[in-house]
């Protein structure tokens, strides 16, 4: 069995696939969010890197900082950690989870509010459109 299932991607392929710039990927590597392997001087991004990148990009959409995301990524990386380390990371993740649930609930509330405002504006626009005689 060859390791060929670990199809690696070049930096450009990654950029095209995930709509990011080379700078961004190198930046993430510098921040230890990604660890592409090096073939000579070039970077080769593995399946693992791609999975992590997806999580990074999603985390960003939720307003997490890269440092916070780094903490989260550690959780998905528990295989090579020790129990103490796991515990710490586990606790961090618990807090994140709680925060995310709060955030979702707030988001749901905000969605409802905005929906109401929109339907209000909708009616308002309807009123303003037809020359207000009678109906």
Site for a copy of itself, rule CB under 8 A: 58, 60-63, 72, 75-76, 78, 83, 86-87, 89-90, 93-94, 96-97, 100-101, 103-104, 106-108, 110-111, 114-115, 117-118, 120-122, 124-125, 128-129
Residue 6: which H helix or E strand, with range? Answer: none
Count of beta carbons in the 10 Å neighbourhood of residue 120: 10
Residue 1, binding choice from DNA, a copy of itself, none, Cβ under 5 to 8 Å by partner class: none
- In the complex, the smallest distance separating the C-beta of residue 74 from DNA, rounded to whole angstroms, is 16
Residue 128, binding choice from a copy of itself, DNA, none, Cβ under 5 to 8 Å by partner class: a copy of itself
Residue 12, binding choice from a copy of itself, DNA, none, Cβ under 5 to 8 Å by partner class: DNA
Separate counts of helices (H) and strands (E) for the chain: 5, 2
DSSP 28-80: HHHTTS---EEETTEEEB-HHHHHHHHHHHHHHHTT--HHHHHHHHHHTTGGG
């Amino acid at each position: 069995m060859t390791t060929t299932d670990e199809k690696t991607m070049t930096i450009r392929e990654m950029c095209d696939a995930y709509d990011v710039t080379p700078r961004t990927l190198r930046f993430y590597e510098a921040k230890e969010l990604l660890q592409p392997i090096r073939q000579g001087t070039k970077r080769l991004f593995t399946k693992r890197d791609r999975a992590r990148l997806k999580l990074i990009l999603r985390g960003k959409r939720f307003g997490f900082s890269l440092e916070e995301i780094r903490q989260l990524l550690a959780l998905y990386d528990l295989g090579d950690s020790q129990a103490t380390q796991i515990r710490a990371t586990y606790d961090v993740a618990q807090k994140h989870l709680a925060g995310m649930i709060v955030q979702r609930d707030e988001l749901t509330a905000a969605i409802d509010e905005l929906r109401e405002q929109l339907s209000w504006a909708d009616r308002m626009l309807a009123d303003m459109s037809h020359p207000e005689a009678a109906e």
